[in-house]
Amino acid sequence: MPTLLEIQRVVGRSLLAQNGEADPYVVPDKLTPGARLSVYRNTMLGALTTVLRLSYPAVHRLVGVEFFNGAARIFIEKEPPLSAFLDEYGAGFAEFLAHFPPAASVFYLPGVARLDWAVSRALHAPDVSVLNLSCLAELDPAEHARIAFVPHPSVDLVQADCPVDAIWRAVLARHDAAITAIDLESGPVWLLVQRYVTGVEVARMSEREWRFAKLLCAGRPLQAALDEVPDLDAAAELAGHFLAGRFTGFRLNAAL
């Protein structure tokens, strides 16, 4: 006799694959096992599609309901949830769209999706106390090079080859004139996403500023980040990050 967990896993696989694997465990009641499971399958697909729509509102408006729902269904079948915490579901949707043949003509769609996800992630990030700068002041200056910062969970960095931030704003605002005015060949953008008390903001950075922030948020030691992005006003950059509360702590890496 299978355990409850084993039956749940069989039902889960059957809902996605529609392979009849769960039929022996379904009690007939005027409907075939496949028909009864289809009710749950449709409910599951509808709920997960809604989750993706809420996390990717700009993508949804760009491609329309029919395209979005069709893409979402294929994505759900390929990458079902691994957790009941659905705020975290859909992290791979942008990458999926980047390799989804029907979306190939909308070359900026994956970039907009990455920005959508970064904003959604920022919205749902936990509230965490920011770094107490007095702790840094107590460090021996000789240890500064070894500092590796812990980024605030609402902070994310997005890079795209066209102005996806302008597309994202215009689409969400339903501003047709702004959409028409966007120059898709105006070059790449480097974006920082962060939640403040006033809401989530998307800000452009220079390439070097973005690379430096990316390295710091990835946990690279301060000196290593400086070595990779030379000729940067590190003091000004760090002051800006501290003022914005982009770090919650730090650690000292092994000696360089």
- In sequence order, the 6+-apart residues with CB closer than 8 A to the CB of 118 are 156, 157, 158, 191, 193
pLDDT exceeds 80 at position 151: yes
Q: Say whether 90 sits in a helix, a strand or coil.
A: coil
pLDDT exceeds 90 at position 13: no
Domain that holds residue 70: 1-106
Q: Is the residue at 71 inside a domain?
A: yes
pLDDT at position 149 is 97
Q: What is the pLDDT of residues 41-52, one digit of tens each?
A: 888 899 999 999
How far is residue 114's CA from residue 126's CA, in Å, rounded to a whole number? 20
Q: Is the residue at 96 inside a domain?
A: yes
pLDDT at position 15 is 73
pLDDT at position 36 is 74
Q: Is the residue at 221 inside a domain?
A: no
pLDDT at position 56 is 98
Sorting pLDDT into bands at 50, 70 and 90, what band is 124? very high
**What is the average pLDDT across 149-171?**
97
Sorting pLDDT into bands at 50, 70 and 90, what band is 69? very high
Q: Is the residue at 100 inside a domain?
A: yes
Tokens found for residue 246 = 């982009």
Q: How many domains does the chain have?
A: 1
Contact at 8 Å (CB) between 155 and 246? Answer: yes
Q: Give the residue, 10 or 206, on which the prediction is more confident.
A: 206
pLDDT at position 255 is 60
Phi-psi region of 87 (alpha: psi -120 to 50; beta: other; left: phi over 0): alpha
Burial 122-155 (b: 16+ CB within 10 A, else e): beebeeeeebeeeebeeeeeeeebbbbbebbebb
Between CA 177 and CA 182, with CA 181 as vertex, the angle to 5 degrees is 125
How far is residue 229's CA from residue 208's CA, in Å, rounded to a whole number? 6
Q: Is the residue at 189 inside a domain?
A: no
Rounded to a whole number of angstroms, the CA Rg of the chain reads: 23
Q: What is the pLDDT of residues 182-231, one digit of tens each?
A: 999 999 999 999 999 999 999 999 999 999 999 999 999 999 999 999 98
Q: Is the residue at 163 inside a domain?
A: no
Q: What is the pLDDT of residues 92-113, one digit of tens each?
A: 999 999 999 999 999 999 999 9
Q: What is the pLDDT of residues 229-252, one digit of tens each?
A: 998 999 999 999 999 999 999 999
Between CA 114 and CA 166, with CA 236 as vertex, the angle to 5 degrees is 30
What is the overall mean pLDDT for the chain? Answer: 91
pLDDT exceeds 60 at position 115: yes
pLDDT at position 214 is 98
pLDDT at position 256 is 53
How far is residue 172's CA from residue 175's CA, in Å, rounded to a whole number? 8
pLDDT at position 85 is 83
